[in-house]
């Protein structure tokens, strides 16, 4: 081994062994050497599990197992070297993430888990936590397969270990390691991402919005369901969680609903128009999709019809004398439209007509008439308003 | 201006299935600073579809806030532009409800009291008999009156208590739209008639006034946890007032929004 590899530095040290960065003289590239002591209890089992798992997995975001060396009291796994920063370091350094960022990362983790669970036999990672997730150039990588098992047959009695806080409660009681334990760990990791806090195994999982009220209720529900103490109450698969998260991310991109209000109203854009919601409440029993909604559509259709027919410029009568006054016409967004006498507007939005106040002398009454002619059949419609200038 | 905390209370009268009152509280942070829209509407129960009317009005104002209002704030628009934009939105609401009544061949209506806080100014839009109160701490406390509570809106009612103006059925083209300077350490309360009638001005001042007391001489650390607690306290105070009002006038629906503007 000394002929081929040279140890550059120690990367980490844990209970089961050490990890080194090594240089491959033959291939002229860096590898990571994970040296696992076989003397300790469960050490051999961990090596066997990690080897079995990594041999069967070939995917971006999961390190490739290149070589294995056996020593007297240890086994050395030579694996792909991945650069980046672990999520644990990132959380320690920068604290909780924004909701949208956390969801993006969570989706990447979910993709990796979905791939593992979809392998023949269903590979469960078993030790998912921020320390085992590496962020490299915006992509997520999953490390440390020492706890990985194929779903069928493994249990705590066979030397299975877990990290307190991230390990599912049923594992403490010697329950079976299943996809659901990974879903629990996934929920706990998501909890850490959005709160910057480590889940407390004694206190149990608490609603994330206690920690960060700006988070959406939907995300809180996802975390709570993933980390439900009863495995049957959790999501049945990572794919299901992924669907929920994707929908939530889409809401962030194209807001639809947030905190009880119709998120359609919150057109969050990137850059200068970005805003952060502190508290948004809209409480009503008025059914907009009912009568109001139907009516609005009717009005829109009516106005669309009128607009397509073409608007004649509004005319204002000053006392008995008829005057034609220029008006400002704006579209629904408040943008000024080009206006001319006998102008025809092909717009689907409600046009807004503005008459400047200085047209009106105080103390007099004015009748403003909007006259509309349909170009096709010449039908004329008029609407008059009486304005009392104050 | 920094908004310290907010609270909401919304409850239907006992025995009445649907709450005809609606409220909206939108508090957001823009790069220009914090801004807030609060609105309460009291649907007129004797008319048809009053909850639809009140819901539509708060919805429409919220829509305006996130579309036009937000852009006006970002463009540093003048106060005249804000007043004009609010008036325009009011006309839009009124016209829409008028058309609604024509198409449905029915009458509907709601009161409206809304408050917009931007920078160091407040804008209010009011029609009907909902109210907006402002509570401040007295500089020189009068016996038993530590807080000064004043009404920013006038009820549009005649001497016999009949509602003269509202959004919808009365067809008013103009609402009371005013602006004023926003002073620090002020509490605003927007509430519908059931809420203030069951409590009275003084009791409202007594219950909400103490929330204005801020720890002095020490740096206030504002955390998310603290903010939640503050919201909870304010919500609880409004709930107390609401319960009192409900006991006094159980036939009325209740909606109230409170805002405390902190020190700069």
pLDDT digits (tens, 9 = 90+) for A50-101: 777 777 778 888 888 888 888 878 888 888 888 888 888 888 888 888 888 8
A213/B70 CB distance under 8 A: no
Within 8 A by CB and 6+ apart from B161, the residues are none
Residue A315 has pLDDT above 50, yes or no: no
At residue A388, the pLDDT reads 75
**A356: contact with B, CB 8 A cutoff:** no
pLDDT of residue B39: 94
Is the Cβ pair A272, B74 closer than 8 Å? yes
Mean pLDDT, range A167-194, rounded to an integer:
85
**CATH dotted code for A85-273:** 1.10.510.10
Task: Name the token pair of A213.
Answer: 């009220």
Return the structure tokens found at A195: 């709160």
- Span A357-374, mean pLDDT? 73
Q: What CATH number is associated with residue B123?
A: 3.60.40.10
Q: What is the CATH number of domain A5-80?
A: 3.30.200.20
Dist CA A259 CA A242 (whole Å) = 21
| B99 Cβ under 8 Å from any chain A Cβ | yes
For residue B58, give the nearest of A284, A350, A354 by CB distance: A284
Alpha-carbon span A53 to A47, nearest angstrom: 10
Q: Which chain B residues in 60-79 lie under 8 Å from chain A, judged by CB atoms?
A: 62-63, 66-68, 70-71, 74
Checking if the pLDDT of A259 tops 50, the result is no
- At residue A338, the pLDDT reads 56
Q: What is the pLDDT of residue A390?
A: 66
Give chain B's domain count: 1
pLDDT recorded at residue B214: 58
Full residue range of the structural domain in which residue B104 is found:
2-262
**Pair A111, A169: CB distance under 8 Å:** no
The pLDDT, as a whole number, for residue A280 is 75
DSSP label at residue A132? G
pLDDT digits (tens, 9 = 90+) for A218-250: 888 888 888 888 888 888 888 888 888 888 887
Q: Within a 10 A sphere around the Cβ of A23, how many other Cβ atoms?
A: 15
Q: Which of B6, B18, B23 sits opposite A279 (nearest CB)?
A: B6
Using the structure block, give the residue that is written with the tokens 């007297």.
A72
Nearest Cα to B237, choosing from B257, B251, B262, B263? B257
**What is the structure's pLDDT at A352?**
73
Cβ contacts of B255 on chain A, cutoff 8 Å: 283
Q: Does A130 score more than 50 pLDDT?
A: yes
Q: Which of B116, B104, B135, B143 is nearest to B1 (CA)?
A: B116
Scanning B140-179 for CB atoms below 8 A from A yields 173
Name the residue ranges covered by the structural domains of chain A.
5-80, 85-273, 306-388
Question: In terms of pLDDT, which residue wins out, A16 or B73?
Answer: B73
B196-253 tens-digit pLDDT: 888 888 888 888 888 887 554 334 445 555 556 666 778 888 888 888 888 876 677 8
Q: Can you give the pLDDT at residue B122? A: 92
CA-derived radius of gyration, chain A: 33
Q: Express each pLDDT in A320-338 by its tens digit.
A: 455 566 666 676 666 666 5
Question: What's the helix, strand, coil split of chain A in %, to 5?
Answer: 35, 25, 40
Of residues A209, A276, A285, nearest to B28 (C-beta) = A276
Rounded (to 5) percent helix, strand, coil in chain B: 35, 35, 30
Interface size, chain A vs chain B, as Cβ–Cβ contacts under 8 Å: 132
A38 or B21, greater pLDDT:
B21
Taking residue A263's Cβ as centre, other Cβ atoms within 10 Å add up to: 20
* Of A199, A239, A195, A196, nearest in space to A214 by CA: A195
A93 touches chain B (CB under 8 A): no
Comparing CB atoms, the residue among A209, A286, A333 nearest residue B51 is A286
B62–A285 CB contact, under 8 Å:
no
Q: Does the ipTM surpass 0.90?
A: no
Please tell me which residue, A156 or A23, carries the higher pLDDT value: A23
Task: Establish how many alpha carbons lie within 13 A of residue B23's alpha carbon, considering only the half-sphere containing its beta carbon.
Answer: 25
| pLDDT higher than 80, residue B176 | yes
| Identical topology for domains A5-80 and A85-273 | no
């Amino acid at each position: 081994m000394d002929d081929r590899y040279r140890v550059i530095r120690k990367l980490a040290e844990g209970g089961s062994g050490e990890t080194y960065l090594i240089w491959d003289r033959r291939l002229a590239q860096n590898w990571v050497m994970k040296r696992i002591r076989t003397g300790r209890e469960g050490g051999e089992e961990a090596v066997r599990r990690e080897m079995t798992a990594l041999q069967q997995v070939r995917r971006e975001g999961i390190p490739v197992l290149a070589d294995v060396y056996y020593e007297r009291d240890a086994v050395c796994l030579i694996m792909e070297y991945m650069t980046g920063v672990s999520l644990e370091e990132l959380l320690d350094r920068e604290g909780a993430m924004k909701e949208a960022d956390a969801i993006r990362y969570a989706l990447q983790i979910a993709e990796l888990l979905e791939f593992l669970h979809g392998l023949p036999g269903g590979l469960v990672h078993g030790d998912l936590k921020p320390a085992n997730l590496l962020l490299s150039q915006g992509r997520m990588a999953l490390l440390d397969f020492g706890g990985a098992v194929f779903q069928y047959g493994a249990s705590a009695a066979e030397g299975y270990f877990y990290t307190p806080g991230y390990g599912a409660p049923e594992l403490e009681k010697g329950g079976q390691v299943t996809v659901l334990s990974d879903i629990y760990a996934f929920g706990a990791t998501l909890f850490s991402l959005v709160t910057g806090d480590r889940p407390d195994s004694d206190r149990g999982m608490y609603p994330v919005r206690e920690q960060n009220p700006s988070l959406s209720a939907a995300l809180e529900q996802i975390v709570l369901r993933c980390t439900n103490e009863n495995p049957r109450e959790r999501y049945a698969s990572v794919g299901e969680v992924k669907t929920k998260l994707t929908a939530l991310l889409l809401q962030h991109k194209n807001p639809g609903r947030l905190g009880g209000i119709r998120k359609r109203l919150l057109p969050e854009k990137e850059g200068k128009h970005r805003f952060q919601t502190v508290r948004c409440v809209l409480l009503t029993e008025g059914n907009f999709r009912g009568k109001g909604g139907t009516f609005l559509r009717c009005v829109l259709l009516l106005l669309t019809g009128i607009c397509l027919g073409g608007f004649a410029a509004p005319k204002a009568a000053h006392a008995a004398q008829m005057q034609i006054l220029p008006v400002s016409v704006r579209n629904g967004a408040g943008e000024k439209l080009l206006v001319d006498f006998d102008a025809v507007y092909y717009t689907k939005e409600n046009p807004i007509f503005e008459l400047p106040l200085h047209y009106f002398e105080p103390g007099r009454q004015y009748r403003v008439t909007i006259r509309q002619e349909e170009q096709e059949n010449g039908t004329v419609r008029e609407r008059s308003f009486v304005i009392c200038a104050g | 201006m920094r908004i310290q905390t907010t609270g909401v209370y919304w409850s239907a009268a006992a025995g009445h299935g649907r709450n005809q009152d609606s409220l909206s509280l939108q508090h957001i942070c823009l790069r220009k600073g914090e801004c807030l829209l609060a609105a309460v509407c009291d649907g007129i129960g004797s008319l048809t579809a009053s909850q639809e009317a009140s819901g539509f009005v708060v919805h429409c104002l919220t829509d305006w806030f996130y579309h036009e209002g937000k852009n006006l704030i970002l463009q540093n628009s003048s106060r005249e532009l804000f007043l004009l934009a609010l008036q325009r939105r009011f006309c839009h609401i009124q016209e829409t409800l008028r058309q609604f009544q024509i198409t449905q061949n029915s009458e509907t209506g709601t009161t409206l009291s809304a408050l917009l806080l931007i920078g160091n100014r407040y804008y209010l839009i009011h029609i009907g008999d909902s109210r907006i109160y402002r509570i401040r701490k007295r500089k020189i406390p009068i016996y038993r009156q530590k807080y000064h509570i004043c009404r920013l809106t006038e009820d549009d009612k005649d001497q016999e208590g009949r509602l003269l103006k509202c959004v919808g059925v009365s067809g008013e083209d103009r609402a009371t739209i005013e602006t004023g300077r926003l002073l620090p350490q002020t509490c605003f309360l927007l509430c519908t008639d059931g809420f203030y009638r069951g409590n009275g001005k003084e009791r409202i001042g007594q219950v909400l006034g103490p929330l204005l007391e801020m720890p002095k001489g020490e740096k206030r650390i504002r955390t998310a946890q603290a903010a939640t607690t503050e919201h909870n306290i304010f919500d609880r105070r409004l709930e107390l007032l609401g319960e009192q009002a409900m006991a006094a006038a159980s036939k009325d629906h209740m909606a109230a929004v409170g805002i405390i503007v902190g020190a700069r």
